[in-house]
Every structure is written in C-alpha cells, then in structure tokens.
Amino acid sequence: MAEAGGAAATAPDIDPDFEPQSRPRSCTWPLPRPELPAGAAEAGGTGGTGAAAEEGAGGAAAAAAAAGPGRAEGARAGGGGGAAAAAARKGGSRRNAWGNLSYADLITQAIESSPEKRLTLSQIYDWMVRCVPYFKDKGDSNSSAGWKNSIRHNLSLHSKFIKVHNEATGKSSWWMLNPEGGKSGKAPRRRAASMDNSSKLAKVRSKASKKKPPLQSAPEATADSPGSQFPKWPGSPSSRSNEDSDVWNTFRLSPILTEQDDLHDEELLPSMVYSSASSNVPPTVTEELELIDGLNLMSPSSSVLSTQQSTSSGQIQRDSSFSLRSPSAAGQTATFGNSLFNPVEMSLQSSVSHFSGPQTLEALLTPGSPPPRDVLMTQVDPVLPQTGGRMSSRTLLLLGGQATQSKMSSGNLRGKPAEQQAEPVGASALPSTLPIVASPQNTASINSLKAPVSATAAQSVQLGSPPLLSSAGPAPLGLNQDRLPIDLDIDMYMENLECDMDYIIRSELMDADGLDFNFEPVPSTPSYPSSSQASSHTWVPS
DNA sequence: CTTCCTAAACATA
DNA sequence: TATGTTTAGGAAG
C-alpha cells in the first residue's frame, strides 16, 4: 500500500508498477469493470497479494513514460536510469520502461490472464493498456503505433505464441500460448542449439511459402454457426451457453511442427509432446491442461497411451505424436501424441476409463471419414491447403470451445460459480461410463451427451492435474493415482482450480524473471515442477 | 554473442 | 485500416 500510495502520487493513472502477475485478478478478462482505473481496481481487487511491489519501479516507470515515451532510447535510457533506483530491489533493473518483462512476457501474461487463454491482437493491446501502466496512456493515441507494432512483431516472431484461427466473423485470430512453450527468454530449458526453437522455427517457418494465400476457412465446418456472438471476451461463458450449436469440441490443431516435415531436430521431438514438455515448462502447464483436457475428452485410448508412456523415448512419441502436415493430404491427420494425454489419461482412466479403448486416436482421427464436427477430434485440419499454407505451421485451429471451456470455467469459477455449478453437477450425475470418445460413429450419441460429458471429463481432468499443482493438495499423489471421485463437489474443484491458477501464476512469475513482488511464501513452490511432473507423469522421460 | 526493442517494408483480408 | 510476417539495425547484458 505504501508503495502504491507513493506511486500513485506520482502518476495517478499509472500503476505503481507493473506486476500483472501479482494481481491477476484485476487484469483478468472478464473485466470486472470496463475501464477501471488501474489504481482502484487493483487496490480493491488484488487484496493482499500484489501489494509488495517495487515502489521505485513505479516511479521509474512513470518517469520513463513521461520522459521519453517516444524512442527506444528514451525508454531504455529511462529504464536504465530509473533502474538504478528501482534496481535496488533485485539487482535487476528494468530493462524497459514498463519493467523487466519483455513484450513476449507481457503478451504471455495477457493471454494467460484470459479465461480461455487466448486473445485477439486487439485484446492484447487492450490488456496492455489496462494492465501495464506504461502503456496506459498510450492506448489510443497515435502513440500506440510503436508498441503495437512490437506486439505484433513478437507474436509473429516467437514460436511461443500460436495463432488460432478465429472463426468468428472476420475477427482476427486468437493468439494463444504454445503449449510446447517455445520460450525465448528466460527459462532456458533445453535449448541445445543456440538458435532455439523460436528462432529456428521462425526461420524455418519463414521460408515456407508466402505466396499462396492459405484458404483458411475452407471447409469450416462450424463456420456456419457463427460464433454468432462469439464473445468479445472469449472468456465469457457465452460459448458454453451455446454449446448447442457451434461449440464442438472439435478442434484441429496443428502442432508446432515446422513446415518442414522433417523435424528431425531433436528439439522438436520433445517439444511436440505436450506432456513431456510440461516437464520443462512449468508455467505452461495450464495450457497443457487445457489442451489436454480438451483432447483427452476425445482421446481416451488408454492402451495406446500406456505404451507410449512407457516408451517415452521420444522418437516414438514424435512419430506417433503427431504427424503433422505432410505435404500429402493423407498426412494431414495429426496423430496426437498420446503422451499428451498421459497425465490426464491416467487420472481419467481411473475415473472414466471404462470406455474400452477400441477407439484409438488413430481410429478417431481416421482421415478417411471426416467426422462431423461433433467428433471432438484433433485433426489436422483439412483446411490446410496442401499448398502448404504457412498458416498451419503454428496455427491452431480451434473451433468451438468446449474443450477450452473447461478451462474457461476455471477462470470463471471465481467469478460465477453458480453458473458453473449447474453443469458440472449435472455432469457428475452422468454415468461415468459414458463413452467419452467420440468416434465418428458415436458422434451422434455423443452429440447429445457431449455437453455434459465434456464437463465431466473436464472436471476430472482438472481434478487430476490441478491437485498436483496446487500446493495445498492434501495428498496429491494419492489423489492422482487413486482416482478422482467424480462426484466431488464443485467447491473442491474450485479450490483446486484456484490454487492451480494462482500457483501457476506464481510459478510463472518466479520463472518469469524474478518479478520482484514477493508473494506469500508459497510452500511448495520448489516442488512445483517435480511434484507436478512426478506425480502426474511418472512416466516422464526426464 | 544472444536477447530484445524498434522501425519499417510487405502481404492480406 | 487492422493484422500478420519478416528483415534490419542497434543497445544491453
């Protein structure tokens, strides 16, 4: 508070300092208030967590902002200068006028802050303006040009961000975090090659063709149902409400692979496997979950999975994991790495696993029969132009959001549990034995069920993993292996989710770059990686 | 040398 | 015009 006060004094509009993480809630998507002045919202909403921040920072930022908004140099200089003062904190100096976070980091946070973990470009801009003090005043004026350009640049440049076709009207694409996490900055994970995924990918990608316009929405199965109201904020429950029409779980996704079918690079191998990736990428866990849960709904095939798990060697995974865009049409089927589901899988299995695994992913994916949209399958979109549209490379098409919804729900939970409840509860009531997997054949039935089922599944999934993440979890391991009671009450879920989110956020922060604010002691922080992984995927190659 | 920021040229819808 | 992609140059660690 004290800090805040000081900062406030300097710059009313500007936030003391930017720590999106520290106050996730204030900057989250279903915006509490239209244009809340940062100060107010934060102060009120954040409650205690974010409080600690660097006071100096605020001043510095403000100063910088005021002083030299224009140039990089200005900003930099400002940052540097201010840094000295602010630097005190951590030895870290703010690299930029807005703090230590890079654009990429900011974008990441923006995306993460959204319930569905996806934002359109404009939403990202928006977030920046709302949540990052430095940009607060630069929102609408022409001054925005520069940083917006940078935002776009970053989105395109980093493999860490993936573009998802937004089928709603002519909206711009959704930008999501690449589950694989091609982080470019800090968390050095395995980057064997100096180049690292991002750059490398970028490069590779880049060479792809540029001439041919990708016909993005060709078949667009769901297109017809207009996302109608596709929520301005994806997070909004709307999608859920109208699952009736377009919310198919379907989503196609094209892995991160490069266009070069030959992704022999080992780097890619592991990367494709989301789950495995998780081991390295703590922060992204969430996203993984999202994907996973979505997927897992669809891909229960346990048997296959298990195999994979054990093997986990990598190559195999790679192979099986996805065969992405092969030039030929046939190749388009993406086989999802089972590994992907593993973690979830495990949990699911216990609870829901009755469905016999006859339907393996492959079966599901069967290229031959284009499943009605109901099938919640991950198929590499037929949409991809054989021309090799570049769009496919990182573009993830995702239609309908049920899959994501589950996630979203988590986001909403806090906000409106009530709504949430209705569904989940109902879902829980459903027989767990429902065939979750939708094979083309089943689609019909699934269709009707899908809503509930998905909910259930989602829940279970959430349950499964979150606990791991959540520090509080009484006995994460036990839970995990044990199985998840489907009938847990929502509160539980909520809690888990909450923890999860916060937890993740926190970890993210820590990871991020040492944001200064210190949170509460996070008991299990250190364990985070290990616990989550260990428990959830024992199979992890490590 | 690598990471990042910024600017800007292009390409598309 | 808004979005996206790419390429370039420069600064900082």
Question: Tens digits of per-residue pLDDT, A122-142?
Answer: 889 988 888 888 887 777 666
- DSSP per residue over A355-410, as a string? S-TTS-HHHHH-SSS---TTS------TTS-TTT-THHHH-EE--S-HHHHHHHHH
Q: Residue A368: CB partners within 8 Å, gap ≥ 6?
A: none
Protein residue minimizing CA–C1' distance to B2 = A194
Q: Which two tokens stand for residue A176?
A: 């999501």
A202 touches strand C (CB under 7 A): yes
* H or E, element range at A423: helix A417-429
CA angle A487, A407, A458 (to 5 degrees): 35
At A114 the pLDDT is 87
pLDDT band at A53 (very low <50, low <70, confident <90, very high): very low
pLDDT band at A31 (very low <50, low <70, confident <90, very high): low
Protein residue minimizing CA–C1' distance to B8 = A149
The single residue listed with the structure tokens 């936030």 is A15
Q: Is it the case that residue A203 has pLDDT exceeding 50?
A: no
Report pLDDT digits (tens) over A286-327. 333 333 333 333 332 333 333 333 333 333 233 323 333 333
Q: Is it the case that residue A155 has pLDDT exceeding 60?
A: yes
A475 touches strand B (CB under 7 A): no
Give residues 377-416 of chain A lying near strand C (Cβ < 7 A).
390-391, 395
Q: Which two tokens stand for residue A240?
A: 């859920």
Q: Is it the case that residue A67 has pLDDT exceeding 50?
A: no
- The candidate with the shortest Cα–Cα distance to A464, out of A350, A321, A361, A311, is A350
pLDDT band at A164 (very low <50, low <70, confident <90, very high): confident
Q: What percent of chain A has pLDDT over 90?
A: 4
At A312 the pLDDT is 32
Nearest nt (C1') from A124 Cα: C3
Protein residue minimizing CA–C1' distance to B6 = A72
A171 touches strand B (CB under 7 A): no
- Note whether A454 and A406 are within 8 A (CB): yes
A209 touches strand B (CB under 7 A): no
At A179 the pLDDT is 76
Chain B: positions less than 7 Å from a protein CB are 1-9, 11-13
Protein residue minimizing CA–C1' distance to B1 = A194
A210 touches strand C (CB under 7 A): yes
At A141 the pLDDT is 61
CA of A91 to C1' of B8 (A): 35
Q: What percent of chain A has pLDDT over 70?
A: 15
- The candidate with the shortest Cα–Cα distance to A160, out of A123, A99, A205, A122, is A205
A129 touches strand C (CB under 7 A): no
Q: Is it the case that residue A408 has pLDDT exceeding 50?
A: no
At A28 the pLDDT is 65
A339 touches strand C (CB under 7 A): no
Q: Cα dist. A2→A31, A52, A228 in Å? A: 26, 9, 46
pLDDT band at A435 (very low <50, low <70, confident <90, very high): very low
* H or E, element range at A239: helix A238-241
Q: Is it the case that residue A117 has pLDDT exceeding 50?
A: yes
CA of A204 to C1' of C7 (A): 14
Most confident of A6-20, A28-42, A223-237, A320-334: A28-42
CA angle A8, A13, A15 (to 5 degrees): 60
Nearest nt (C1') from A120 Cα: C3
At A148 the pLDDT is 92
pLDDT, mean over chain A: 42
Nearest nt (C1') from A172 Cα: C3
A192 touches strand C (CB under 7 A): no
Most confident of A23-37, A248-262, A528-542: A23-37
At A182 the pLDDT is 62
Most confident of A8-12, A441-445, A467-471, A499-503: A499-503
pLDDT band at A103 (very low <50, low <70, confident <90, very high): very high
Give residues 22-51 of chain A lying near strand B (Cβ < 7 A).
none
At A73 the pLDDT is 35
Helix A402-415 and helix A443-469, axial crossing angle in degrees, nearest 10: 50
pTM over 0.85: no
Report pLDDT digits (tens) over A496-538. 343 344 444 444 444 433 333 333 323 333 323 323 322 222 2
CA of A227 to C1' of C5 (A): 27
**Could you tell me which residue, A167 or A282, shows the higher pLDDT?**
A167
**Could you tell me which residue, A233 or A225, shows the higher pLDDT?**
A233
